Amino acid sequence: MHKFFLALGFFASSVAIGNENNYMIEKFDRNGDKVVTQDEFLEAAAERFKKMDVDGDNSIEKTEFLQRYAEHSHSTTTESASEVGQRVFDKLDENHDAKISELEYNQSRLKWFTEADKNNDQKIELEK
């Protein structure tokens, strides 16, 4: 499960296990307070969704996803980025309509945030 959410973030090779909160702060802390609120995180997710939705049709088709995934991931296993990207796409496409809706994308991002928010305070803080 942990690897899935890291892959979902498109930076699997950049995040050391146990250092995920620090990574999230580096990437998503918008005001520089060393804390990522759920609102900051979801705002970043909305921006990422728009970038991935190249044709602007409010969904991410498999080709859009795989292209973006390949550009921003580095395989750390014996599987290629394409193979991992395909598997991640299939997990995100919960209704199996060959595209990821904004709702499907946001739900997956929220799961990642919630998993990292160990004390359920809707904030991600630096790990010590």
- Total residues found in the chain within this entry: 128
Q: List the structure tokens of 6.
A: 């890291």
Q: List the structure tokens of 83.
A: 């193979």
pTM of the model: 0.74
Q: Counting Cβ atoms within 10 Å, is residue 32 exposed (0-12), middle (13-18) or buried (19+)?
A: exposed
pLDDT tens digit at each of 128 positions of the chain: 444 444 444 443 334 445 788 888 988 999 999 999 999 999 999 999 999 999 999 999 999 999 888 887 665 667 777 888 899 999 999 999 999 999 999 999 999 999 999 899 999 997 76
Walk me through the domains of the chain, giving residue ranges and CATH numbers: 2-125 (1.10.238.10)
For residue 90, which of 113, 115, 120, 69 has the smallest C-alpha distance? Answer: 69
